[in-house]
Structure 1
Amino acid sequence: MAAIHITDLEAAINWWRARTPSADGVTLAPPLRALAEVYAHMAWARRSEVEESALTPEAWAAWLAWYDTTPDTPCIAICSTSQGDAVCKGCGRSFDEVQHWPAFSPAEKRAVWRRIRAEGSAWRFNRYAERAADGGEVASK
């Protein structure tokens, strides 16, 4: 199983905070509470990742609700792996990642997204950033 990075957990928490703001400034909605508990344990243990399997069913459902709002694939329809490149110039994924993408778990997909953003060399982040933005993805995200 893959791990969920703390930055994705933070994004999910912030998404839920915007969706279900606290009426009294203290009480958290159940999905937000479930994610906050995971986040607190990670912070206390000084961990940057948590295994998907370690999430409670409530935290997993809350994280998946946020995940469903993110773009599924980094593809911008310029696939150089079909031309023999080991890494796609368009999206930054390896040939294996492109081929096996549908079978990846949500956390595995987010790990690839995190890596290609950190590298920032794929065309989706420079030459064709507007194409990526048109597909629902913000290039600086």
Structure 2
Amino acid sequence: MTDDIWQRDEIESPCVKVCVIHPDSRLCTGCLRSIDEIGAWSKMSPEARRAVMAELPSRTGQLKIRRGGRAARLLR
């Protein structure tokens, strides 16, 4: 018996288990993927996953800092 089944040539998910979708950019604040990319990840080809992974660093600037939500309102 071999462990070949556990050795896959797949791109790992960039998920960091901080799943919050930013309301303006519609990107996950944890992994920077869009909702569509997150939903399709398991069905994407390795090439498509690599393309998304290569684009993620450039998305950091798309997340605008929010003004604080409830915590900011309570300070007023």
Higher strand share: 1
Question: Does the alignment reach a TM-score above 0.5?
Answer: yes
Q: Does 1:86 align with 2:20?
A: no
Q: CA deviation at 1:75?
A: 0.4
Q: Deviation string for 1:74-131 (max 9, x for gaps)? A: 00000113x86710010010000001110100000000000002x1618xxxxxxxxx
* Structure 2: gaps of 5 or more residues: 1-6, 62-76
Partner of 2:60: 121
Higher helix share: 1
Matches within 5 A, 1:22-101: 68=9, 71-81=11-21, 86-101=26-41
Partner of 1:27: none
Pairs aligned (count): 54
Give the root-mean-square deviation of aligned CA atoms. Answer: 2.7
Helix, strand or coil at the partner of 1:73: coil
Over the matched positions of the two proteins, sequence identity in percent amounts to: 31
Seen in structure 2, the aligned counterparts of structure 1 residues 120 and 87 have a Cα distance that, compared at 3 Å, is: closer
